[in-house]
Amino acid sequence: MGHGLCHLGRRRRNLAADSHPHGHPPAGWRPSPGPPAGGDGDSRRGTSLSILWRLYPLIRVIALDLDDTLLRSDKTVSPESLALLRRWRAQGHHLVIATGRPPRTVAEVLPRELFDVPWVCYNGAAIQIDGRTIFQDLIPPEDTRTIVEMIQARLPDCIVGLEVDNILYLNRAIQRTSPYQVADLRRICHQPAAKILFFQDAQFQEIMADLRPLLQALPASTRALLSEKYNLVQILSHSADKARALEMVVQQWGLGLEHVMAFGDDVNDVEMVRRAGLGVAVANAVAEVKAVADHITASNDEDGVAQALEALLAGQLESGVG
């Protein structure tokens, strides 16, 4: 696979090698932003990643979003991506799955050989390792009830869902391939929720007049993620975030986010891509992710993850790292 499909995004790193003559930045190092788009930094656009990686010898963790990032449109992982992830792990490095999916649907699409890696689920509201939940950041029951009642009162045509204990409860039946239960959500609200989601056929622009005051009235314990890509609103604990959960995982290995190369495509990936030592957006990512990424690789259907991984491994070999 060629490496030329990846290029620098709008966020710039300071690539001055003389600031780190041995190629190893000091602990806690965070690169300073380089020239703005359109400045001298654009001369690096399209530079081979196998060269750029030599300036980042600290990468020890790959963090991967699933849908529209690692997964192709048919919801499978390509043999090329799987082979490169196998190589990465064989060198003693780490892999983390970071997804908005609940654990039950991660298991539906992830190859079994990746079941032993940490899963950051529900956009950071839960961490699961070897089938055991080690962390949760949930919406309190009283706030769950308040939000459900607000949605049903202000947007009565919306489909509303609650994720509770790895079960999706919906307020009515829909066409959906993954399992769910239809329930009176008011009877479920006495339990803390990993997330509340709602969606309808209308585009966001058509319901924004009703949606905006609802989001402004959310309890302080929560925050909303609006994905126009999926015409979906997800409400989480205000502190639930992929980047925060990922940081908790890598700290168990004595590492930090500067040791992470993170891949993503949608608004729930922005902070993870922005805060990672190397943030990578796939070509099919939304503009918000591309704006904070260090690099943009090929799309999920063009093995963008595999191309960047191949370049990373090539760069480590060239620099004698790994």
The domain ranges of the chain are 48-135+241-319, 141-237
Selected from 3.90.340.10, 3.90.700.10, 3.40.50.20, 3.40.50.1000, the CATH number assigned to the domain covering 48-135+241-319 reads 3.40.50.1000
Distance CA 83, CA 79 (A): 6
The pLDDT of residue 158 is: 87
pLDDT, residue 209, reads 74
The string of DSSP letters for 126-153 reads EEEETTEEEEE--B-HHHHHHHHHHHHH
Sheet holding 232-237, edge to edge: 181-182, 167-170, 159-164, 195-199, 232-237, 222-227
Two structure tokens written together for 59 = 């990468």
Task: State residue 101's pLDDT score.
Answer: 97
DSSP conformation class of 25: P
- The identity of residue 217, as a single letter, is A
Fold of 141-237: 3.30.1240
What pLDDT is stored for residue 182 in this prediction?
A: 96
pLDDT given for residue 202 in this prediction: 60
Q: What is the pLDDT of residue 176?
A: 78
DSSP 254: T
pTM of the complete model beyond 0.95 = no
pLDDT tens digit sequence for 82-118: 999 999 999 999 999 999 999 999 999 999 999 999 9
In this structure, the number of other CB atoms found within 10 A of the CB of residue 133 comes to: 14
Query: So what's the pLDDT on residue 56?
Result: 57
With a cut of 50, which residues of the chain have pLDDT below it? 1-48, 50-51, 55, 317-322
pLDDT digits (tens, 9 = 90+) for 39-75: 333 333 344 454 455 545 789 999 999 999 999 999 9
